[in-house]
Amino acid sequence: MMYVATLLVKPGTRLDGALVDNLRNAWGGGDVQWLAIDEAAEFATPTKPDNLWDVWQDLQKQGVDLVLQPRAGRRKKMLLADMDSTMIQQECIDELAAEAGVGEHVAGITARAMNGELDFEAALDERVALLAGLDAAVIEHVLNTRIDLMPGGKTLLATMKANGAYAALVSGGFTAFTAAVAATLGFDENRANTLLIEDGKLTGRAARPILGREAKIEALNDISARIGISAAEVIAVGDGANDLGMLGLAGTGVALHAKPSVQAQCDVRVNFGDLTALLFLQGYGRDAFV
């Protein structure tokens, strides 16, 4: 099997060409292809090096992401993405909680849940309960004032869709947010939990069933079957423990700026690049970005 090694850095910083050449030479790789000058490069290698993770660790200290993957089939036909801390920079429930005056407490629960320390459904119920009585209008306020898109997201969606891919946003967050984010970025569909509202106030409950780890796996299976592709033709991206199922099932599962426990279970890790890293990993050069 032939592999491809991809090296990339945070946009605006510089990937050292000598570093790329030295690694290519050490691994007996083919010619270096620059996907973006000074930002992302790749080369083919005939084997999976025994020292891959030692090299990865060394490069992390230098601000460089390294991904090794099979060369065949790496350009995917579907993007399946988490929302919170993946397609957007915040956790929506933490921002709602901040408006309710319980932000710090809820953020602590969120961090533990995303690191796999707490049961996802129980943690969601505990956090949503703390929002009871909050005016529903605060959702629109949070969307307009507290939510920022993750860099590279619009380019990722536009480029993949221009090349015929399908895009689905699947979140353990809330439909009030996924609908807006999906529309802004161009996702074909979105799935998430629903905050229950009565008389213009949040009830402190979410509709059943809760969309958690298993529901993300089901989404991958359902959507890929519906559009006639296999799981191997999907690239999935997320950062939390509830994303691990879909990341493991997808042909390429990308842990993006992920929690430590999540990274430990994923072979594809992006800690410095933005969402355009998912394009580089598929072999798109910057000149092919839309």
Residues catalogued as catalytic:
82, 84
Q: DSSP assignment of 220-234, as one string?
A: HHHHHHHHT--GGGE
Segments of the chain assigned E as strands: 3-9, 33-36, 40-45, 64-70, 78-81, 166-174, 189-193, 195-198, 201-206, 234-238, 252-256, 268-270
Structure tokens at 81: 């993405």
The SS3 of residue 101 is coil
CA dist., res. 81 & res. 96, Å (int): 22
Which residue has tokens 């609908």?
A: 179
User: Looking at beta carbons, which pairs linking 48-55 to residues 24 or more positions away fall under 8 Å?
Assistant: 48/3, 55/23
Measured between alpha carbons, how far is 284 from 279 in angstroms, rounded to an integer? 5
Q: What does each C-alpha distance from 94 to 13, 147, 181, 197 come to in angstroms?
A: 31, 11, 17, 18
